[in-house]
Amino acid sequence: MKVVILAGGYGTRLSEETHALPKPMVQIGDKPILWHIMKYYSTFGFNEFIICLGYKGYVIKDYFYSYWYRQSDVTIKTSPKGNEFTIHKSSVEDWEITLVDTGDDVQTGLRIKRIQPYVNNERFMLTYGDGVGNVDINFLIKQHEALHKVVTLTAVQPQGRFGVVDFDIDKTVTSFNEKGKGKYINAGFMVAEPHLFDCLGKNEPLEFAPFETLVTKGELGVYVHNGFWKCMDNLSDLKILEGFWNSGNVPWKVW
């Protein structure tokens, strides 16, 4: 199953970092948060990624283009005929990464629509490029399969500023209110069927009309996560995540 990661927003509330970098490339420790997200999925056996690029997407392309070289110990022999490289040690993951330019001024719904040709009409994972957690991906998938919904999202306790999820005893979402106050919020870490693309096409956030349509049809399910989750929304959030990393007590570091 492929993992689609939304990585094209401007990250304006983190402008201290994102004036030069796309938000998913802001580092926790010595790696971008995007790498942390990919590494997390990889520990569950998901190694195929589709990354939706937008603002400064070339930075992400450049990072992965030179990733093998930067993660390796090398000897370089220079000569007038060109350089020769000998690799001594490499710590590169076995990943397949498709980098898709989905546009700069594009909302999440249309970004996802534009990667449809790369999904191959298969079920796929979907998440945001700025949030980490210790969500049990295997249980999430089992929940999705049991619910038989078009999309199953992961709901966590709110920290403000996010779309509020209300759901019934059958784990079916009954309402989705963007930027409201309530008991649970959408944390990403979603599983989606290709039927989701039928709800997309306009330049609008996934959380607006597309999710509202699924709610109306009873096709938006939920997986409740009571563990760790944190979104890197602003500089304060970044410092909190860096604090976890520097302390060595890193809830999402399961590798």
Query: What's the CATH code of the domain at 85?
Result: 3.90.550.10
What pLDDT is recorded for position 241? Answer: 97
Q: Residue 136: how many CA atoms within 13 Å on its side-chain side?
A: 10
What gap in Å lies between CA 98 and CA 113, rounded to an integer? 15
Same domain, 117 and 151: no
Same domain, 125 and 21: yes
Same domain, 22 and 65: yes
What pLDDT is recorded for position 165? Answer: 74
Q: Which of 95, 130, 165 is the last residue of a domain?
A: 130
Is 233 a member of any domain?
A: no
Same domain, 101 and 180: no
Is 240 a member of any domain?
A: no
133, 120, 151: which is closest to 2 by C-alpha? Answer: 120
What pLDDT is recorded for position 180? Answer: 54
Is 77 a member of any domain?
A: yes
Same domain, 114 and 170: no
pLDDT tens track of the chain, all 255 residues? 999 999 999 888 888 888 889 999 999 999 999 999 999 999 999 999 999 999 999 999 999 999 988 899 999 999 998 899 888 888 899 999 999 999 999 999 999 999 999 999 999 999 999 999 999 999 999 999 999 999 999 999 865 555 667 777 787 878 776 655 557 899 999 999 999 999 999 999 999 999 999 999 999 999 999 999 999 999 999 999 999 999 999 999 999
Same domain, 30 and 115: yes
Number of domains, the chain: 2
What pLDDT is recorded for position 160? Answer: 54
Same domain, 49 and 106: yes
Q: Rounded to whole angstroms, what are the CA distances from 148 to 51, 54, 91, 167, 218? A: 26, 32, 39, 15, 10
What gap in Å lies between CA 107 and CA 205, rounded to an integer? 5
Joined tokens for residue 107: 């909302």
Same domain, 8 and 118: yes
What gap in Å lies between CA 84 and CA 20, rounded to an integer? 33
CB 197 within 8 A of CB 113: yes
Joined tokens for residue 46: 């998901």
Is 251 a member of any domain?
A: no
Same domain, 208 and 179: yes
Same domain, 96 and 166: no
What pLDDT is recorded for position 161? Answer: 53
Domain that holds residue 172: 135-227
| Amino acid symbol at 239 | K
